[in-house]
A and B are shown apart, each in its own frame.
Chain A
Amino acid sequence: MEDHVQPLLSIDNLHVDFGGVEAVRDLSLTLERGQTLGVVGESGSGKSASWLAALGLIGTQASCYGSVRLHGMEILNADKRVLTQVRGRRIAIVFQDPTSALNPLRSIGWQIKEALRLHRGLSGRPLQQETERLLTRVGIADAARRKNALPHEMSGGQNQRVMIAMALAGEPEILVADEPTTALDSTIQAQILDLLRDIQRETGMALVLISHDLAVVSEVCDQVAVMYAGQIIESAPTAQLFAKPLHPYTKGLLAAQPTLDGPARPMRPIRGTTPRPDEMPSGCSFAPRCDLMITPCRRPQTLRHVAPSRSVACVRVEMEG
C-alpha cells in the first residue's frame, strides 16, 4: 500500500478477552492525522480496554487479538522495545481517574520532567522551563512553586490537568484522552479543549476523546463511535449522529441526556440492564432492551455502511439515500 493512503492508525478486528469474558469484540476503526474521534457509550462497554490494549497497557490477564497498525507498523502485542518507542512519544494517553494514575510518591513536576527527559531529551534549564510552561498552559497557577506538590496535595481537577500536561510533554502524534475533563469546571474545561484544538492545528495531532459528556463530544469531535457491550454499534460524523441517531441504543442515550435549559424533567434511563457476559445474546446485544426488536434481531449484528462515513449495527435501520 502506498504511504499516502495509509491511515495514521488503523485498528482491525480487535478482540480483548479477560479469561473468557470478551470486553471488546471485533472492533475496527481508522484514525487520520488531525482528526478528532469521539468514543462514547455505556459504562463498561470496552472504551478504555480497547485503547489500553492497543498500547499494550492492559496487563497480563487479557488476551488481545486482531491488529493495530501505526503508519502501517503492527503494534498490537508488539515487543517491549517497540512499545516503549511508541508510548508517550507517538501515542500518549491520559488515563481515567488521574489521581490514582499518577505516582503518589513523586512531585507532579518530577513526573512531567521525567516525560520530557524520556521523550524529548531535555535537561537543565530548558527542562525546568518547559515543565513550568506546560503546567501554566493547563492552567495551574504559580507553576514554579506548585510543581513541587505531590498528587494528593492537588485537587482532582488539578491532577487531571497534570496528566494532560504529561501526555503533551512527548508531543505525540496521537493523544488518547480518557475522560480528560470530568473533574474540571466548565470554564477550565473550555480552556483545555481550546488548548488541545490549538495543538492539533499546530502539529496535526490526532485526538481520541473518550467521554460520557455527549455535549463535549458534539462540540469538539469530527467523528463519533458509540460502543455497547464491547462493540461499536454506530459510527457517524458528529453533526449527523446528534441530528439523527440511528441505533436504538444511541437514541436512548441521547434521550436520557439532561439539559440545563428548557423544562426540567426527570432523567429516564434506558429500560433493563446490560447483558451479563455469560448471558450475552447470540444476536444483537441490545435486543433484550430494545423496543424495536423483531425476529431477525436474533442474528448477530455487525456494522454495515449506510452512508458515507456512517455505519450502524442494527437490522431495523434502513439504507439511506
Chain B
Amino acid sequence: MLRCVNLSLSYRIPGPFWRKSTRVFAVNDVSITLPPRQTLALVGESGSGKSTTGRLLLGLETPDAGYVMLNGTRLPKPGTRRWQKLRKRLQLVYQSPLAALDARMKISDAVREPLAIHNIGTPQERALKVGAALEAVGLTLEQSSRYPHELSGGQVQRAVLARAMVTEPEVMVCDEPMSALDVSVQAQVMNTLLEMQKRMRMAILFISHDLRLVRQIAHEVAVMYLGRIVEQGPTELVLHRPLHPYTRALVSAVPVIGARGQQRIVLAGDPPDPSRPPNGCPFHPRCSLAVDRCRVDRPALRTSAEGQSVACHVAEIGAEASR
C-alpha cells in the first residue's frame, strides 16, 4: 500500500534581476492513500499540482515537507540502490509521451528496457512480455520497430503505457494516459488496465481531465485546486453530487454530445496565481458562495457519513462522519 502524508513542494522561480525570486506553491499538504486493487483519480484545475503529486508519490521529487510510505516503510531517497530496486514496482506513465521516450531508441527496445534494467526474465521471457504489452495497447510489431517520431500521437502514448505495464508494477501513476486515443482504443486500453489491476492487485493513481474516463475506472476521486485537495470521495458521489463549489463548476463544464450551449457554471475572476495563494479558502476569490469567514480561515477537509470529504465552510455535508 502506498501512502503519502502532508506532502508539500514549492518551486523557486527567478524574477527579473531587480526583483526577488518567488516561490510557486505546487503542492500543499496533500495526503493520499492508494490501497492495492484500487484506483484513485486525481482531477482538477490545470496547474493545480496533479503531476507534481504523482512524481512526489513515486519519489521522483523530494518534498519540502511530508513523506511517502510503501507498505509501512519510508520510501528511500531517489537514486539510492534501495530506491532503484523499488522502482520496478512503481511505474509512471508520463503526461508528455514524446518527452518520456528516448528519440534514438526503437519502440520495442524502449518497452524492453525496464525489464533489462531491473533484470527481469530471460531474453525469451522478455520478448514474450514485450509482445504481450504491445498487443495489450494495440501496437503492431511493425509499428514497434519504428522510432518515436515515426508514430502518431496516440501510438506514442500507447508505447509509454506498454513500457510502464511491462514490469507488472504494484503501483502505477498514469498521468493523462489516454488523452491522445480515440474512444474505441481508450475502451481497449481501459479493459486491459482493469484486467491487469485485478490480476496483479495493482493500485492506480489516474490523473485525468476526462471525467467520463474517470468514471469508468476510479473507485475514488480527489479534486485538486491550487495545490490542495478540496474534495475527495466515492466516484459516483463526487461526480454526481459534488459538494465543493469548484467541483460543481468542473462537472458542469464537461461538454456533452448534442447539448450545445448547455448551462455551465462560469468561474468569475482570473485563474489563481500559485505564487501568491490567497488567504483563507484558496477558492474564495472566484467563489459565488463565499462568506466573510472564507477570506480569513482556510477550511479543513470535513468528511460526511458517506465518506465524501470537502474543504469548504459553506458546503452542506449532512451528518458528519463520527471519528
Contact = CB atoms under 8 A, between A and B. Distances in A.
Interface residues of A, number: 73
A258 B215 contact: yes
B319 interface: no
Contacts of A216: 255
A189 interface: yes
Interface in B250-277: 250-251, 253-260, 264, 266-267, 270-276
Contacts of B251: 186, 260
Which 10 pairs of residues, A with B, have the shortest CB-CB distance?
A157-B46, A43-B154, A267-B187, A141-B273, A99-B96, A186-B253, A215-B255, A269-B187, A182-B179, A100-B98
A6 interface: no
B191 to A, nearest CB: 7
A218 B258 contact: yes
Contacts of A268: 187
Contacts of B191: 266-267, 269
B211 interface: yes
B180 A182 contact: yes
Interface stretch (A9-17, A77-85, A145-153): A145-153
A188 B182 contact: no
Nearest to B235: A264
B93 interface: no
A149 B14 CA distance: 8
Given A189-B253, A258-B213, 13 more contacts: A43-B154, A44-B152, A96-B180, A99-B96, A155-B51, A156-B176, A179-B180, A182-B180, A187-B249, A187-B267, A189-B209, A254-B257, A276-B140
Contacts of A44: 151-152, 154-155
A183 to B, nearest CB: 6
Contacts of B180: 43, 96-97, 179, 182, 212
Nearest to B276: A142
Contacts of A136: 270
Contacts of A295: none
Interface in B127-172: 138, 140, 142, 150-156, 158
B46 A155 contact: yes
A184 interface: yes
A66 B260 CA distance: 36
Nearest to A95: B153
Contacts of A243: 258
Contacts of B272: 141
A218 B95 contact: no
Interface of A: 18, 40-44, 47-49, 61, 96-100, 136, 139-142, 145-146, 148-149, 153-158, 160-161, 178-179, 182-190, 212-216, 218-219, 239, 242-243, 252-254, 256-261, 264, 266-270, 273-274, 276-278
A97 B16 contact: no
A261 B184 CA distance: 19
A6 B80 CA distance: 65
Interface of B: 11, 13-16, 22, 43-47, 51, 95-99, 138, 140, 142, 150-156, 158, 175-176, 179-188, 190-191, 209-213, 215-216, 236, 239-240, 249-251, 253-260, 264, 266-267, 270-276
Contact of B181 (A43, A270, A276): A43
B68 to A, nearest CB: 21
B43 A188 contact: no
B216 A258 contact: yes
A185 B187 contact: no
A48 B184 contact: no
A250 to B, nearest CB: 11
A121 B176 CA distance: 38
A188 B258 contact: no
Given A188-B46, A269-B188, A276-B142, A264 B96 contact: no
A259 B183 CA distance: 11
A242 B258 contact: yes
Contact of B182 (A178, A212, A266): A212
B13 A149 contact: yes
Contacts of A260: 211-212, 215, 239, 251, 254, 256
Contact of A183 (B188, B209, B264, B274): B209
B46 A184 contact: yes
Given A148-B16, A179-B180, A100 B258 contact: no
B256 A156 contact: no
Contacts of A187: 45, 249-250, 253, 267
A243 B260 CA distance: 13
5 contacts: A139-B271, A153-B13, A187-B250, A267-B187, A276-B140
A53 to B, nearest CB: 13
Contacts of A141: 270-274
Contacts of A47: 152
B183 A184 contact: no
Given A43-B182, A100-B98, A148 B14 contact: yes
A136 B16 CA distance: 19
A187 B180 CA distance: 20
B255 A43 contact: no
B46 A183 contact: yes
A141 B45 CA distance: 13
Contacts of B150: 18, 61
Given A156-B176, A158-B47, A264 B258 contact: no
Given A142-B273, A153-B13, A187-B250, A43 B212 contact: no
